[in-house]
Structure 1
């Protein structure tokens, strides 16, 4: 194992060290180049002589193991690594930009700045979770914002992969994380639940909105355990200008029990991108921390760690239980039978996913050039009328459930666009939709020649698609799931 300090101009496995960019307590970051690798590169080298914490060394091994498995625009590209038998290092893409730490230092900030930025972070987390990895150390210094406005997650030393050994859990018996951001289940040494990252994101949003940390900066396990029974002061009690929808989102992320938080980062991002559709519960109006009686009940539950641990589950299983399903609904009166059939199939799809979020979407077609009137012949707002009709269509899907179930699991959206297929595809892409259910009006000669909305959606959708059609011959309704990006399978169900 190398024990000599590195110097500018030195070469390590073909990489030339140029300048020391940062010296932290655990590692040193160098700007490096290599003739076989273009673009800006960074080398991360652990400070072995100054590290007295075995978790730091294990964490470096974890990052060496996990980073090569990751891909996409929200993580640095892995280049190379050296093991501890010679010179340990990780070389990766150098992310231009700054971390979110300065934003936290200048908090509080208005909701219109917080929401779109945190939506980007949530989407980056969803991309990570889809690769079966939980970050488990989400904090401002581990989130980079590029000059192009893209979010990149860094530092995977505490991360956990579903299909990789958990070296930290195997070798250590203490909670791992950063004090202000660690989730309650992490305090109990649960390291596989993606909703832990959402708790940390809730802590960030709370700080950005109020200028204060919801749980302070505890430095002991005893201090960390308090969040198992103590809830934070509601943001509006600190700053009255925090809107109800933002308080609802923040406090939902900070729930002690993982099953009371958002079911996925994609569902959180959807609310941050569409604040007008956020379902407001008692959280939104909360003005005080919970009563002593509620806190006492939580404290008693916390004495049985198994009750909290049992609510957590691996990232792949959690995402499978919490897809975003989009029902593309045609509300024309002449297609009422199709709308009813679409509702029946949608009910079947969401029944198999207990934490699914249903997005009911209809398109109000506009002209490309002419100015469209927003009023009908009777002077009523067409957009509002469509929205009311869409909510009426969705209500029977959860008949018998508590009204809050409909509010938290269903959102309704009226899109205005000249091209319905393009509008639906854009919504699906932006909101990370996992499954589209869409109706087809039939197969007339004009429709076969010009193409249908459903066919265009099935051909280009970034997810699976179910097309629902009622044949002209009156045969029973059938539906067929169509795999995304497989043109040979893009056939309407008959």
Structure 2
């Protein structure tokens, strides 16, 4: 059974839990050790499962569990082991010995040469990450460490996008997730597939390290986040006159609203930061003040002046891997209906080569009363449903990576399923019919409402045995 917090001395799959070393917004980090790996520094990451926690903490943990094992090289922590929500979820990884950049914030602003050298190392790490089909989407000082050998190391892939994996964050949440001072305009608008979003974040970090001021502040509302689409920051040289023109050129190029106007790749950005003499100077380098209000108003209200953010690699992936969504009622589904639904999915898959099965469950919330996130036994309801959903799908024996699991929290199950099918590229949805009963007559049929309104093919499974048992 998963627990919100582990205790020092606990042992999980041979890993002994040590001191709590970090409490993040979505997860906790503990020192850990294993008898088969004596002396190897490791960290154990567990999701936050306390009362009232954001469900995104669970989803982002699943994303990192999928992405980290697929990454390699000196710019990421080495994956060691992981376990899902069936028992105690955890992710064990190498403990990178170097510090993060977070303590350097006390020393800002930094010398331009140090800013450039640091930026070049981070850009090299981003280039290595992008070559492995991953956009980080949360580049910030606390997520950047340095090895004793000098390489920058990127950590925390819970908000990342992998072009060859399902994007659970995009599928389950409508609001953008990220760190406000560093989020790219397209990320604010919901586009998670642009590698140059990481270059924008790095540009914001370089600006901060150069001037001691965040280019867009730290907005906490969507309206504040959107301002960066039309309102440019003060040029770095206005705040820091000794900032070299070439460095202002590089920083402002990273902070362009349109990704097409940024550096084409992280490798080219790293090259510019390492070779100042090779930087081609444009009017950005000599800019002394922000754009006037006339230009700001034009960018904000003229549709022709607004950038067209485009989705990239995953678009082709969608065509090659349609989604079969299976809506599972874990509270009152008879065994015969469960098996009939699994059999239906098995019959569908050969007709949809490369399809992915998205197993859905709706955790109903109260319309008026406050909800609790823990059940009577102190278990996180969302995590418990997730484990039950995985258990439900086990008899289908789907290959690794072909099935994903989603717990949708909503007042109306039908509305939640319809939204999922509308927002995501669902090709076919499978639901089980509610048995004939007084409840069905009074409340109506979820499957009927979904079948009537879904933007995809819907199969409603109603095995004869279920109806006969209900009649008896």
Compute the TM-score of the two structures, normalised by the length of structure 1.
0.62
Within 2, Cα distance between the matches of 1:137 and 1:75?
14
1:83 match = 84
Name 1:313's counterpart in structure 2. 312
Match of 1:73 in 2: 74
Provide the aligned length of Structure 1 versus Structure 2: 315
Residues 284-332 of structure 1: per-residue CA shift (max 9 Å, x gap):
0000101112111210256997x4223x533999xxxxxxxxxxxxxxx
In structure 1, the residue matched to 2:266 is 265
Shift of 1:199: 0.2
Q: Report the Cα offset of residue 5 of structure 1.
A: 3.7
Change (3 A) 1:4 1:201: closer
SS at 1:2's partner residue? coil
* Distance of 1:287 and 1:172 partners within structure 2: 40
Aligned twin of 2:180: 179
Structure 1 pair 4–118 and aligned structure 2 pair: CA distance change class (3 A): closer
Moved more, 96-105 or 214-223: 96-105
Q: Which has the higher contact order (CA 8 A, sep 6+)?
A: 2
| Aligned-pair CA distance for 1:149 | 2.1
Shift of 1:116: 1.1
1:224-263 superposed matches below 5 A: 224-263=225-264
Name the structure 1 match of 2:210.
209
Q: CA deviation at 1:106?
A: 1.5
Residue number in structure 1 paired with 2:42 = 41
CA separation of 1:277 and 1:315: change in aligned 2, threshold 3 A: farther
Deviates more, 1:211-220 or 1:11-20: 11-20
Which has the higher mean CA deviation after the structures are superposed, 103-112 or 89-98? 103-112
Does the CA-based 8 Å contact 2:48-2:57 persist in structure 1?
Answer: no
> Residue 152 of structure 1 corresponds to which residue in structure 2?
153
* Cα deviation 1:191-219 (Å, max 9, x = unaligned): 01110000000000000110000000000
- The residue that corresponds to 1:7 in the other structure is 7
Contact 1:229 1:302 in 2 (8 A): no
- Offset of 1:47 from its aligned partner? 2.0
Instruction: Confirm or deny: 8 A CA contact 1:20 1:30 kept in the other structure.
Output: yes
- Decide whether the 8 Å contact of 1:25 with 1:51 is kept in 2: no
Q: Aligned equivalents of 1:281 and 1:246: distance in 2? A: 12
Residues 232-278 of structure 1, C-alpha deviations (whole Å, 9 max, x = no match): 00000011000000000000000000000001000000000000110
CA 247–4 in structure 1, closer or farther in 2 if over 3 Å, else same: closer
How far residue 36 of structure 1 moved from its aligned partner, in angstroms, is 2.6
Q: Normalising by structure 2, what TM-score?
A: 0.64
* Structure 1 match to 2:125: 124
Separation (CA, whole Å) in 2 of partners of 1:153 and 1:19: 23
- Counterpart CA distance in 2 for 1:63 and 1:294 is 41
CA displacement, residues 440-483 of structure 1 (integer Å, 9 cap, x when unaligned): xxxxxxxxxxxxxxxxxxxxxxxxxxxxxxxxxxxxxxxxxxxx
Q: Cα RMSD between the aligned structures?
A: 1.8
User: Which residue does 1:430 correspond to in 2?
Assistant: none
Cα distance in 2 between the residues matched to 1:86 and 1:292: 57
Q: Which residue of 2 aligns with 1:31?
A: 31
Cα distance in structure 2, aligned partners of 1:284 and 1:80:
47
Partners of 1:316 and 1:234 in 2: CA distance: 36
Give the equivalent residue in structure 2 for 1:191: 192
Secondary structure of 1:215's counterpart equals coil
Distance 2:178 2:279 in 1: 30
Aligned-pair CA distance for 1:18? 2.3
1:106 counterpart residue number: 107
User: By how many angstroms is 1:78 displaced?
Assistant: 0.5
Show the counterpart of 2:329: none
Structure 2 gap ranges (5+): 317-472
Q: Matched residues in 2 for 1:282 and 1:210: separation?
A: 20
Does the 8 Å CA contact 2:126/2:266 hold for their aligned counterparts?
Answer: yes
Q: Secondary structure at the match of 2:158?
A: coil
- SS of the residue aligned with 1:152? strand
Distance 1:53 1:118 in 2: 32
1:377-430, Cα deviation, whole Å (9 max, x unpaired): xxxxxxxxxxxxxxxxxxxxxxxxxxxxxxxxxxxxxxxxxxxxxxxxxxxxxx
CA distance in 2, matches of 1:4, 1:109: 39
Name the structure 2 match of 1:97: 98
Determine if contact 2:4/2:49 at 8 Å carries over to the other structure.
Answer: no
What is the distance in 2 between the residues matched to 1:66 and 1:109? 33
Task: Give the distance between the partners of 1:56 and 1:225, measured in 2 at CA.
Answer: 24
For residue 221 of structure 1, report the CA deviation from its aligned partner.
Answer: 0.7
1:343-375 residue CA offsets vs partner (Å, 9 max, x unmatched) = xxxxxxxxxxxxxxxxxxxxxxxxxxxxxxxxx
Q: CA 1:314–1:78 in structure 2 vs 1: closer, same or farther (change >3 Å)?
A: same
